[in-house]
Amino acid sequence: MARSGPLEAFLAREPQTRYFRLMDDTLHPALLPHGLRDILPPDARIEADTVERLMAILGHHGYDRVKPPLVEFESSLLDGPGAAMTHETFRLMDPISHRMIAVRADMTLQIARIATTRLVKSPRPLRLSYAGQVLRVRGSQLRPERQVGQVGAELIGSAAPEADAEVVALAAEALNAIGVPGLSVDLTLPVLVPVILQALGVEGRAAEQLRAALDRKDAASIAAIGGPSAEMLGGLMAAAGPADRTLAAIKAIALPDGAQAQVAALTEIVRLIRERAPDLMLTIDPVENRGFEYHTGVSFTIFARNIRGELGRGGRYVAGGHQTEDGYAKRAAPEPQPSTGFTLYSDTVLRALKFGPQPPRVLLPHGTDHATGVELRAAGWITVAGLEPVADDVAEAGRLACSHVLIDGKPTEV
């Protein structure tokens, strides 16, 4: 007899909880925490292949691969710029050292740590690449997933605008090479607004309110609370759009000297990007800050036409230059190094790709000579070996999702 009651009504309304077993309310073994999921065939193989193709392109540009650990001591992972990821980071007690450790929520800062410690004596600029999974406390509206694959590159030890242009063009080249269509890059200056507010003497609560209003693109609030900065900030917000038009609009605004220097740097970087990637669509949002909390210069977000969410982010930051006293030891601060780089998100990248038919799979009936399988795999086939004799090899091939079966030494379509 079917049960009916408040619990059953709730489960009927909430798809996420339908894995519950109604009889004893225990969790179904397939149920995972919100924002986490299993990646099944063939998606897992496609993701792995795509990541390796991206990493190969980065390697061809001289970015050497490193592999940081999944967890680190909290005091080092969240030091300096890492403090911006504090609210996104899982923490737990290490049962061996009895110190707090943290699960990485972003790999960029780990690469910066490696560069300024283990590879501190390597020649600069230092080019490093990486691929791995990160875990965050919560997802976002555009990216509800809490475990995300990252592929990225960091260029450490150069403040030249050529470095900024290199990483933007490299990210675009890598995505183009794997077939992502309709790329665009949105450039921003996350420290432009703080420089303007400081120059105009706007600080404290007023500065926080203006920053929040700019993030919301709330022109009415900016006009209401901006005071002497309202007209300037409103003009910057309205200037967002295609790169050439935005730069012309910004240069028409009477910015403080420090802000003008940043705009000049952005102008040069746009010119250099166009030399490397003339067909790449560039836009500029001069007041965007969300997601760039630890960035110190020109930063960017990568999008693809008709794809929800960003494919990646990057920008300029400072590696090193911070020390932490955590109750155990005071670490010497590594020399601060100007750095820039990017991170691609594998889940969004995969949504932007179109995949053709999977490689053909051929069933090798029980007893097939091993050398035959070797030859077929060398020719590009996926082989599935029969482990026991069956009455109908053709039917067995269909059951195992094989497109072909080996008959008289030749793959035959089923």
First to last CA, the chain: 45
Instruction: Tell me the pLDDT band of 25, cut-offs 50, 70 and 90.
Output: low
Residues 50 and 184 in one domain: yes
Residues 198 and 186 in one domain: no
Q: Of 339, 356, 373, which marks where a domain is finished?
A: 356
Query: Is pTM, for the whole model, over 0.85?
Result: yes
Residues 101 and 128 in one domain: yes
The per-residue pLDDT for 19 is 45
Residues 92 and 179 in one domain: yes
Residue 99 belongs to what H/E stretch? none
The per-residue pLDDT for 141 is 74
The per-residue pLDDT for 56 is 98
Q: Of 84-93, 153-162, 191-200, which one has max mean pLDDT?
A: 153-162
Task: Domain count for the chain, please give it.
Answer: 4
Q: Of 356, 375, 405, which marks where a domain is finished?
A: 356
CB count in 10 Å sphere of residue 328:
11
In tens, the pLDDT along 281-339 reads 999 999 998 878 789 999 999 999 999 899 999 999 999 876 544 444 455 567 889 99
Residues 162 and 58 in one domain: yes
Residues 382 and 317 in one domain: no
Phi and psi for 225 in degrees, rounded to 5?
Answer: -115, -5
Distance CA 386, CA 404 (A): 13
Residues 239 and 273 in one domain: yes
Residues 181 and 300 in one domain: yes
The per-residue pLDDT for 332 is 59
CB count in 10 Å sphere of residue 414:
16
Q: Is 128:340 a contact under the CB 8 Å cutoff?
A: no
Residues 106 and 179 in one domain: yes
Lateral strand order in the sheet of 312-319: 64-65, 126-135, 147-156, 337-345, 312-319, 299-304, 183-188, 281-284, 241-242
Q: What is the mean pLDDT of the chain?
A: 90
H helical segments located in 200-340? 204-216, 219-225, 230-238, 243-251, 257-276
Residue 90 belongs to what H/E stretch? none
Q: Which CATH number does the domain housing residue 184 bear?
A: 3.30.930.10
Distance CA 58, CA 270 (A): 21
Q: What angle do CA 21, 23, 27 make, to 5 degrees?
A: 30
Q: Is 220:208 a contact under the CB 8 Å cutoff?
A: no
Rg of the chain in Å (alpha carbons): 26
Residues 43 and 25 in one domain: no
Residues 150 and 96 in one domain: yes
Q: Of 330, 356, 382, which marks where a domain is finished?
A: 356
Q: Is 185:165 a contact under the CB 8 Å cutoff?
A: no
Q: What residue numbers bound the domain in which 342 lies?
A: 36-190+288-356
Q: Is the pLDDT of residue 117 over 50?
A: yes
Closest CA to 313 of 186, 139, 211: 186
Q: Is the pLDDT of residue 5 over 70?
A: no
In tens, the pLDDT along 356-414 reads 888 899 999 999 999 999 999 999 999 999 999 999 999 999 999 999 999 999 999 99
Residues 144 and 186 in one domain: yes
Distance CA 312, CA 171 (A): 9
